[in-house]
Amino acid sequence: MSGSPDSSAFAAELCGLLPQHGAAERLARTWLEADAPDFDVGGFVVGDETQEAHLLGKTSGILAGRPFAQAVCDVVGIEAEWLVEDGHEITEQAAQEKRVLAKMRGPVRRILLAERTILNIMTRASGIATAARTMSRIKAEHQWHGQVAATRKTTPGFSLVEKYAVLVGGCSTHRMTLSQMVMLKDNHIWSVGNITKAVEKARAAAGFSAKIEVECQSLDAALEACAAGAEVVMLDNYEPSALKQDAAKLKAKYPHVIIEASGGITEDTAATFFSKDVDVLSMGKLTQGYSCLDLSLKIQRAEKEDASAPSQPGQAEAQADSSM
């Protein structure tokens, strides 16, 4: 299942999909340990005075990554008050105004220890969710029945965040790991000798509970995969016209087989691949090559502070307005 283009309620519920055995917290500790493996001199400088910081949205897009940012807050021991849910759309106007998305309170050294890790998570997750939302809307505009999916082209140690963000944006994850579904690609086929042998051996090991998908570069290969018992056939690196022709032939003979198109599909070309006979478009770009959103986390200055300190974003303009 994937959310509809504007299914903010579905996106907000997705935190319940994450493992409840501390997976996010373990990731948070790993990221924090990588960022501060020994001394934290900056933290020593600022000390433990309780402060408040605001998370600001500075470019438009879809927010994602909140449960992982919350896990970072929990690990370092600061409070987070979230003003918006994952799936919230930061509009152009909201970005220009740098509206507050969350407020974080606690010892200032702990806020700054968490700062870059939180931003790294959320800028990247939000970039993925934004790209996924764009594709979800393109699909809806063309009233295509299928699913747009990510691939396993993810970042080691960060793939759970990336796949979660794909769902927030309204697209499908595809398989999460090597263990979730059997996918036999060209290297598997070449190593075994042919598609039929590869599928038969995979079925003997996987049993009835796992789907088998075969990557194919021709109609003959796809027909062999279907005949051998594959439930999913990927037509890889096809031109749109040839894809539609071969997909129609496969569906005519094997109507229950899921047909996936993959290879070089982008936002600009996706619509040319839409077909009643194609069930899935997979795009590596959803988790590779996306643009990150611009977010920042700013400590709120107390009035008693030295006037020579750097001003907050927009503070000088506000002071100028108040003096006019």
The SS3 call for residue 66 is helix
Question: Could you give the CA distance from residue 86 to residue 67 in angstroms, rounded to a whole number?
Answer: 9
> Which amino acid makes up residue 279?
D
- Respond yes or no: is residue 153 known to be catalytic: yes
154-to-26, 165, 284 alpha-carbon distances in Å: 19, 12, 9
Among the options 153, 211, 249, 285, which is catalytic? 153
Number of Cα atoms under 13 Å in the Cβ half of residue 43: 17
Number of Cα atoms under 13 Å in the Cβ half of residue 245: 8
| Token duo for residue 78 | 């600061």
| Token duo for residue 215 | 């990557």
Q: SS3 for 108-120, per residue?
A: HHHHHHHHHHHHH
Question: Could you give the CA distance from residue 38 to residue 9 in angstroms, rounded to a whole number?
Answer: 41
Residues with catalytic function:
153
